Structure 1
Amino acid sequence: MSELKKQQVECSFYESAFKTAVCVTVSLESYLAGVKNGKYEALVKRLRSYKAAGDTERADNAKKKLPLLVAGGVMEGGRKLEHMVRYSRCTTIDLDDVPGDPLDFLRRAETLDYVKAGHISPSGTGNKLFVLVDSSLPDHVTAFGYVSRMIERDLPGVKVDTSGKDANRSCFVSYDPDAFYKEVAQVVHVPVDELKAEKQPAAPAVRAIRRGGGQPGANALSNYIDRFESDNPFADGGRHSYLVRLTSALNSAGFSEYEVETECLRRYSEPGFGEKEIRGIVADIYRRYRSAHGCNPYDPSKGAKPGACLKNLKNLSPAPDFSTPEDDGSMGFDIEAEDARLPHFGRDLFDRLPKLLADAVAPAADDTEFDLMLLAGLTVCSTALPGVTGNLKDEPYAPPFYTLLIGPSGSGKGCIHAMHKVVEPWQRYVADMSRHDVEQYKKEKETYDTYKFQQRYGKKKTTAGPVPTEPKPVFLKQLHMSGYTTMARMIEQLHINDHYASLMFETELESVTVTLTQDFGGYGYLLNQIFHHETISSSSKTNGSFLVRRPMMGLLATGTPGMLAQLVPSTESGLFSRLLIYKITGHTEYRPLTSSDNVRQNAFYYDGLGLRLLDIAIHLDKSPTFVSFSDKQRKRLDRYFKREYYNVRVFNNNDVASVVLRHRLIIFRMAMVLTALRKGESLSTDAHIEISDEDFETAFHIGTRTLQHSLLISTSMKHSKAEHHYKIPTIQLDLFADMPDEFRITEILELASVRGISRATVYRMLKKAQEYKLLISVGAGCYRKTEEGKNVKNSETD
């Protein structure tokens, strides 16, 4: 009974990944009971249905809304490691995308005496296992590595996700009627001192006992490979070359071919990397490099380090060089941003703009300033078009969008400051009208309170006339949203603004990045939801409850490349794909003072434009507008974005596919702005307007060029250095397009080498090109382009 009580595991339960200040202490047993009895069934089934339909974006959003469990211990005040007040000695093992049926692996895990509990992951493709250890909190990472080795050894074919190594690691809840929980499980003894002496988590000397099975002992080969793997982490996509290097090291260490083949089959055999290929690699290395066998014998008593073998692999066995360079060679050599061939929009757009926008960009001193002011004008105007909507993929959207202008200090970003004057009259008008409503509310509330007081104390007889009713609270609308805003205040203000779009206008991006890092300001995920008008809400004892069913907000900000890296550190960030980004390139020139400063009235030029926008906004507020593409325009968009989508899938980073797709929506919103401005200027009352070809071409021209800016920026996202490096985003596309309709592998490898593209990248590109039916292999190292492959054009020819 004492053992049973001892194994009650305390965990921390969070209602949401975004609400980490408050959690509830639960037992692991009660959590597993909820997983089994369907407590989270509806939420998890929705996630799995999205995943089954291939809708990864909705699946990811659904997953983020699931509650969280921290099995490592009891947390207070947050979810960081410093918030852990009691350690439960429980490690969470995450097995993503197991090879085969997840239920089968779960049943096999249940037979392991040391696995306390487990269930299928919320995605339905992996497993979550919970294992108890006897080590302390400071040694949790060591214990995690030790347990991971046991799991990978006892469940051949699985790979533990190492991102779960920390004690405060959380996992999303799931639904699994076949989940299991053992009242008593074997507590794993972690030899902390021995492992620390080795400076790496080693595999257990004895495999865990299986029910009904024996207890096989460890051997020198197994220990050698364990230590080799610790020094040389296995990377997906390089299984063949990884096994070549490992086998070469094992050959040099003196292990026999038979035992190496047996152990490699047990460890690495999985769907897509079968027995035949593994046997072939081992046999080939031992045959070709027979003379190198045993040249670097392994002596466990001397603590030889297999990791060193890999670093001098060519000296051990002259295996083919499949290694990849330290820097990512998939994008070629580093380039300067100025060399990326990013064109300006072109002054020919000027004559095609609505009169208000044309006047707004007229003062531009050069092509760069023209581009910046045009984007700024479109963005601020998008927030002053009430009642304008349109559908894209059967979802209703309003015009506001997000724009980020990036450039070094002194590059001319400050020219957009005047654009805020264009929208200020509209924002003041809404505030003034709202202020009138607030004053009216106060009067009605005072009348109502007076009536209730008199009724309560009977100081006045009831008179004829309507009985006062309690008025609905009215608050002041403020459409300007500061970057330095708390998350709660943002939700509250969006709720108050309701029918009208807010605008976050910041010429210093740092105000946003600093606020996002504060506990009170983490509204990053709100920006993602607001972009698509998704429902947002908040509830607190101090501020009450707010539900915004259709939030609308535009964003215009300027910053340096360093600030961008803090805002969106990687291309996986959802915010990155929602931003229209313009990268200032080229060498800026000193701009001399001019005699225009002699005219006082010039300082109020944009104030006059603001009054014109105010008239347009008032007219649109009284005349709702539905905007749509023509069939011809939709087909034009589909042709372009289908090509770009597959181009980034095959020739670029998969993370930026969402950037391509969301630029369709950005183009639609810019076209809505142009269409609505024309309606306001002409005082038209048409309720449904089809976007004109002229406005479509303008929006398409701007959107497709800013897409190239985003793709360029994406090549620098993984660099955290102060000096940002850029690469040509179309390097793989151009390589493929420049090859003849039929070519040999040696030809494309030679051309890739000249362009700075690694061999491994070429092989991955060819594989993906075949998957997307751009290429077919005709054997003997020869390839032939399909008709679709022949249509892939060099980026400079479009």
Structure 2
Amino acid sequence: MIDSLSVKGTFFDSAIRTWSARMMPLDQYINEVKNGVHAPAIARIRELVSAGKNKEAESLKKELPLYVAGGEMQGGRRLEHMVAYSGCICTDIDDPAISPQEVLRIAGSLPYVKAGHISPSGTGNKLFILVDSPLECHSLAFELVRRRIETDIPGVTVDRSGKDPNRGCFVSHDPDAFYKVESEVLSLPMPEPASVTHAPRPEAGRTADALTNYIDKYEQDNPFAAGGRHSHVVKLAAVLNNAGFSPYEVAAECTRRYVQPDFPAGEIEKTVTDIYRRYSASHGCNPYRPKEEQETKKCLKSLKNSPIVPGQQQASEEDQEQPDIEPDNLLLPRFGKDVYENLPTILTDILERAPGETERDTMLFAALTLISSVTSNVRGSIAEKIHYPCLFGALLGPSGSGKGCVAGMHALIAPWQQYVYDNSRCYVKEYERKKMEYDLYIQSKKRPSKNAAPQAGLPPEEPEVVKQRNLNIFGYTTLARFIELLQVNSPYASCLFETEMESLIHTMGQDFGGYGYLLNQAYHHERAGNDSKTNGTFMVAEPKLALFVTGTDGMFPQLVPSTENGTFSRLLIYKLTGDAAYRGLTSADDSPTAANCFDVAGQRILDIGIHLDGSPTWVNYTDAQRKRIDRFFEREYEKVRVFDNEDLASAVLRYRLAMFRIAMVLTALRKGEARSLERVCTVCEDDYRTAFRIMEVCLQHAYVVSTSLNREKRVAHYKFPYIQQKFFADLPDRFKRAELIEEGNVRGISKSSVNRMIKKCEEQKLIVSVGAGYFEKTTKGKTIVAPEIP
């Protein structure tokens, strides 16, 4: 039974002198942290960290005392020395995207966080959480706690190395550290004992065969290459760990297959062991059952039973190995209440009428995307390239999930679009008047009248063509017209708002409407054009386009068929779970006020847009914000390249850009509301946290949605480009065909390729035949040397 009132841990005088220890309750440990018992040493460590001397700081930190919250230890700090388990899990958070002080504030408001303080380096946090599970289930409990923390606190990643119950944390100094006398104890769902006791154990021989077959299938799509040996073993070990294979068998099989003089067995075994240790919580989460798969295949006796239907592609082996799930609020988190506490006033007012949390999220998502098209005079730079705030958003969900609440939100930008249209119409009318005068003048010259008086002054010049601007673009638009509108609307941003994704799917599937390329170019403001005999030439140098589309989960793969499709990585994605509740009728329907609720906000956005149009704005991050962003995205980028679909790497990088564009929209709204004339605006902390949380949630949703799309399996394989030239240059001046074929076999060159090379060399007079299967190089052939790579 877990004692939530008195959590007993162990205090060690240092991480090295583990024989010197004493029992210390968690509340006493937190008091020492708050009262500065170890303040001088902590201050020195933080000075070194601030000066960039991380190695010296790390060395000094290892001399600090150590506290193990997991329980009472006797005789050492290994797991076998634990005599009483406390049920307390210590989570380690390093370099969060938000400040450690903010992390501590949020953690203190969570009912299940017992205690917490800032780490000795000052750049992270230690949080203590109680669980009601036994010691044997500590790893599973840690995984539960990790997911709860990463879900409830935006921008944090819990270090997985802290999953051991005997994990200790170095003492610190933090006057704001907290301890709760009463806190919630997290419950871990426990399996039935019978399911564990009577689980069948596979036979040794069958397991070995299954492992060999499994790796053979894996290598069909992931060949072992000299340039990526370590990465290959890392990925393979992660997959085999999830499939439930023994680490000892995996290490032995990988050593047998991949050992080389410069890739020794020790390195392979260490890599496999490390992956199994780091991800032990996910061991066997996707068990390999070849016998069940074979039985499933035997059941397919006719084409009627085939799961493949026209328009669908068969899932890859990698996709078939993954079990289907129904995404819930854990995998599809919401923005959270903190996002709504410090929004610009106009957004707060727009969201007042949201009936629930789901509708509030979707309305904010749509509002940011739509308003991004009003801020076309706002700019900023990411990776030394200028960008505008234009966002691409996709709202996905099953029928009846709540997508319809955004249908009327186009009214937010309708006044702005009408304002630009009316101004443009004045110029068009002036052009039409001048064109009419010019046409009359030309006509009078062709048919002069005898009684006509001579015209005074200079003859009229042919006016330059002025076309009507229209910022509103529909899904049913041809490619040529789309480009023309982007060209005419420049420098203003156009907006494509469609609540029926089917319109884009149908149009992009036609020859006249395949504008997927244009969407990809417009997202980065890159030059795009179209040239045809019928429509002529249209070219837009710097397109600006905001896009918002809603649709069902089944329609989205028709719009974006695979994760390799460039449109996927450009879309901010928010997926609804389908658990929306029925909304009853209210008296708000007694007047048209509720139906026109966005009209008033639209007039305010018009005023903001006019102000921003007359006051150029440059938006930038602070150095501290950039460092936090880099820490988060570097981890995400490495994670998806090693353990997930590599196609998602581009999505991670573009979500970094999308976060900046969200921050630009929020900053521009604040400037517009204040009618400020500042030309350079730095993203404030409130807007940074809001943009980060929205990006983080949408990225998680994109990860989930990506699993429903096809993965591109056509991997390009490269070889040394000069293999035959080097082969020929290495030959002696006199050689025999049979010897040449044998040497080619060693170098991986087929017999037919060798014979073709001999024939071509004879034709080019590089060699001559001297009989009996022998050849000699000519003077010209001797000039062929091994290539040098510049």
TM-score, normalising length from structure 2?
0.50
Which residue pairs with 2:694 in the alignment?
A: 702
Q: Find out whether 1:478 has 2:463 as its counterpart.
A: no
C-alpha distance in 1, partners of 2:684/2:574?
25
Match in the other structure for 2:367: 377
Q: CA RMSD in A?
A: 3.0
Return structure 1 stretches of 4+ with deviation > 6 angstroms. 231-234, 272-277
**Structure 2 counterpart of 1:643:** 635
What do residues 14-41 of structure 1 show as CA deviations (whole Å, max 9, x unaligned)? xxxxxxxxxxxxxxxxxxxxxxxxxxxx
Q: Secondary structure at the match of 1:352?
A: coil
Give the Cα separation in 1 of the matches to 2:631 and 2:219: 39
Partner SS state of residue 448, structure 1: helix
Distance 1:399 1:719 in 2: 30
User: Distance in 2 between the 1:462 and 1:653 partners?
Assistant: 77
SS in 1 for 2:390: coil
Map 1:43-192 → 2, pairs under 5 A: none
Determine which structure has more spread, i.e. the larger CA radius of gyration: 2
Match in the other structure for 2:220: 235
Q: What is the alpha-carbon distance in structure 2 between the residues aligned to residue 345 and residue 437 of structure 1?
A: 44
Instruction: Flag the 1:343–1:234 CA change in 2: closer, same or farther, 3 A.
Output: closer
Matched-pair contact (CA < 8 Å) for 2:376–2:389: no
Alignment partner, residue 530 of structure 2: 538
The one of 651, 655, 659 aligned to 2:647: 655
Give 1:719 shift.
8.7
AA matched with 1:603: A
Verify: 1:357 aligned to 2:326, yes or no.
no
- Whether contact under 8 Å (1:438, 1:476) holds in the other structure is yes
User: Structure 1 residue 508 and structure 2 residue 493: aligned?
Assistant: no
- Is 1:498 the counterpart of 2:483 in the alignment? no
The residue that corresponds to 1:412 in the other structure is 402
- The alignment status of 1:524 with 2:509, answered yes or no, reads no
Establish whether residue 606 from structure 1 lines up as the match of residue 598 from structure 2.
yes
Residue among 569, 576, 579 paired with 2:571: 579
Instruction: Report the residue type matching 1:632 in the other structure.
Output: A
**Uncovered stretches (5+) of structure 2, i.e. residues with no partner:** 1-215, 226-256, 266-293, 296-314, 713-790
1:643 Cα offset (Å)? 0.7
Alignment-mate amino acid for residue 526 of structure 1: L
Structure 1 position 630, deviation (Å): 1.3
Residue 340 of structure 1 contacts residue 712 of structure 1 at CA under 8 Å; is this kept in 2?
Answer: no
1:469 corresponding residue in structure 2: 461
Aligned match of 1:624 in 616, 624, 629? Answer: 616
Q: In structure 2, do the counterparts of structure 1 residues 632 and 326 end up closer, same or farther at CA, with 3 Å as the change threshold?
A: closer
CA-CA distance at 1:598 after TM superposition: 1.9
Contact 1:536 1:547 in 2 (8 A): yes
Once the two structures are TM-superposed, the CA of residue 577 in structure 1 deviates from its matched residue by: 0.4
Structure 2 CA distance for partners of 1:372 and 1:334, relative to 1, 3 Å: same
| Contact 2:339/2:693 (8 A) holds in 1 | no
Cα distance in 2 for partners of 1:330, 1:410 equals 29
* 1:518 counterpart letter in structure 2: Q
Confirm or deny that 1:671 pairs with 2:663.
Answer: yes
Deviation at 1:428, TM superposition (A): 1.0
Q: Which amino acid aligns with 2:475?
A: G
C-alpha deviation, 1:367, in angstroms: 1.1
* Aligned-partner Cα distance in 1 for 2:586–2:441: 66
Note if contact 2:608-2:672 (Cα within 8 Å) is conserved in structure 1: yes
Inter-partner Cα distance in structure 1 for 2:654 and 2:409: 25
The 1:275/1:346 distance shift into structure 2, 3 A limit, reads closer
Query: Take 2:219 and 2:616, find their aligned partners in 1: how far apart are those partners?
Result: 58
User: Alpha carbons of 1:238 and 1:330: their partners in 2 closer, same or farther (altered >3 Å)?
Assistant: farther
Structure 1's unaligned 5+ residue stretches are 1-230, 241-271, 281-310, 313-324, 721-798
Could you tell me which amino acid in structure 2 is paired with residue 452 of structure 1? I
Q: Secondary structure at the match of 2:469?
A: coil
SS at match of 1:235: helix
Equivalent of 2:480 in 479, 488, 494: 488
Deviation at 1:537, TM superposition (A): 0.9
Counterpart residue number, 1:183: none
Q: Distance in 2 between matches of 1:367 and 1:577?
A: 26
Q: Are residues 628 and 606 of structure 1, via their aligned partners in 2, closer, same or farther at CA, if it must alter by over 3 Å?
A: same
Q: Deviations over 1:424-472 (max 9, x none)?
A: 1111111111111111100011112222333444545654434422111
SS at match of 1:669: helix
Cα offsets for 1:503-556 (capped at 9, x unmatched): 111111011111111111111111111100110111223222111000111111
For residue 585 of structure 2, give the secondary structure of its aligned residue in structure 1: coil
Q: Aligned equivalents of 2:608 and 2:560: distance in 1?
A: 35
CA drift at 1:602? 2.1
Structure 2: which amino acid aligns with 1:492? E
Please tell me whether the aligned partners of residues 331 and 704 of structure 2 are also in contact (alpha carbons under 8 angstroms).
no
**Deviations along 1:275-298, whole A, 9 cap, x unmatched?**
999xx9xxxxxxxxxxxxxxxxxx
Cα separation, 2, equivalents of 1:439 and 1:699: 43
Query: What displacement does 1:232 show?
Result: 9.2
Deviations 1:113-164 (A, max 9, x none): xxxxxxxxxxxxxxxxxxxxxxxxxxxxxxxxxxxxxxxxxxxxxxxxxxxx
Write the distance in 1 (CA, Å) between the matches of 2:316 and 2:616: 57
Structure 1 residue 349: Cα displacement: 2.1
What is the one-letter code of the residue matched to 1:371? Answer: D
CA shift in 2, pair 1:625/1:238, >3 Å? closer
Distance 1:542 1:332, change over 3 A: closer
Q: C-alpha displacement at 1:356, in angstroms?
A: 1.1
Give the alignment partner of residue 421 of structure 2, picking from 403, 426, 431: 431
